[in-house]
Amino acid sequence: MTNNYQLYHRIQDIGRRIRTLHRDQTLAVGIIAVENGDSLATSIDQLCDQFSSMSLFVLMHQGQGDVLSLRNRFAKINFIVFSEPASFASMANVLANESYSTYFLLTRSDLRQKSIDIEASIQLLHRSDRPVAITAHLTNRLGESIPIIQAPFIRKELLDPLSFMPSGTLEPTLYPFLGVGLYERALFQRIRGFDELIETEYWQQLDFGLRCWLYGYPILCNPAMNWFFPQRQFIIEDRTCVGGIVRVHTKALGVRQMNGKNYPKRGGKYFDSELFKEVKKRLALYKNDFTQLMDKWEVPS
Is the model's pLDDT at 13 over the cut of 50? Answer: no
Residue 1 clears pLDDT 80, i.e. is over it: no
| Of 23 and 169, more confident | 169
Q: Is residue 11 part of a domain?
A: yes
Contacts of residue 71, Cβ cutoff 8 Å, sequence gap at least 6:
8, 77, 79
Ranges 50-54, 159-163, 164-168, 279-283: which has the least confidence:
50-54
Domain span at residue 105 reads 1-110
Residue 39 lies in a domain: yes
Least confident of 4-18, 144-158, 200-214: 4-18
Percent of the chain at pLDDT > 90 equals 78
Contacts of 116 (CB under 8 A, 6+ apart): 136, 224, 225, 226, 227
pLDDT of residue 15: 46
Structure confidence at residue 52 (pLDDT): 78
pLDDT of residue 2: 58
Local confidence band at 17 (pLDDT 50, 70, 90 cut-offs): very low
SS3 272: coil
Per the domain annotation, does 92 fall within a domain? yes
**Around Cβ 1, how many Cβ atoms within 10 Å?**
16
In a domain, residue 21? The reply is yes
Q: Is residue 43 part of a domain?
A: yes
CA 268 to chain centre: 27
Report the pLDDT averaged over residues 56-64: 94
SS (H, E, C) 50-81: HCCCCEEEEEEEHHHCCHHHHHHHCCCCEEEE
* pLDDT category of residue 23 using cuts at 50, 70 and 90: very low
Segment 80-84 long-range contacts (CB within 8 Å, at least 24 positions apart)? 80/5, 80/6, 80/7, 80/8, 81/5, 81/6, 81/7, 81/8, 82/1, 82/4, 82/5, 83/4, 83/5, 83/6, 84/4
| Angle at the Cα of 185 from the Cα atoms of 179 and 187, rounded to 5 degrees | 95
Q: How confident is the model at residue 24 (pLDDT cuts 50, 70, 90)?
A: low
Q: What is the percent of the chain where pLDDT is above 70? A: 94
- Tell me if residue 19 falls in helix, strand or coil: helix
Q: Residue 38: its pLDDT value, please?
A: 87
Domain count across the chain: 1
- The yes-or-no verdict on residue 59 having pLDDT over 80 is yes
Q: Is residue 3 part of a domain?
A: yes
Asked whether the whole model's pTM tops 0.85, one would answer yes
What stretch of H or E contains 177? none
Cα–chain center distance at 165: 19
* Mean pLDDT estimate for the chain: 91
Q: What is the mean pLDDT of residues 186-200?
A: 96
Q: Report the pLDDT value the prediction gives residue 51, as an integer from 0 to 100.
A: 82
- Any domain includes 148: no
CATH number at 81 reads 3.40.50
**CA-CA-CA-CA torsion sign (136, 141, 114, 98):** positive
Beta strands in 18-132 (DSSP E): 25-32, 55-61, 78-82, 101-108, 112-116
Sheet strands (E) in the chain: 5-8, 25-32, 55-61, 78-82, 101-108, 112-116, 133-139, 149-151, 154-155, 158-159, 162-164, 171-172, 181-184, 219-228, 255-258, 261-264
Is pLDDT at 20 greater than 60 in this prediction? no
* 81 occurs within a structural domain: yes
pLDDT of residue 284: 96
Does pLDDT of 22 surpass 60?
no
Asked if pLDDT for residue 21 goes beyond 50, the answer is no
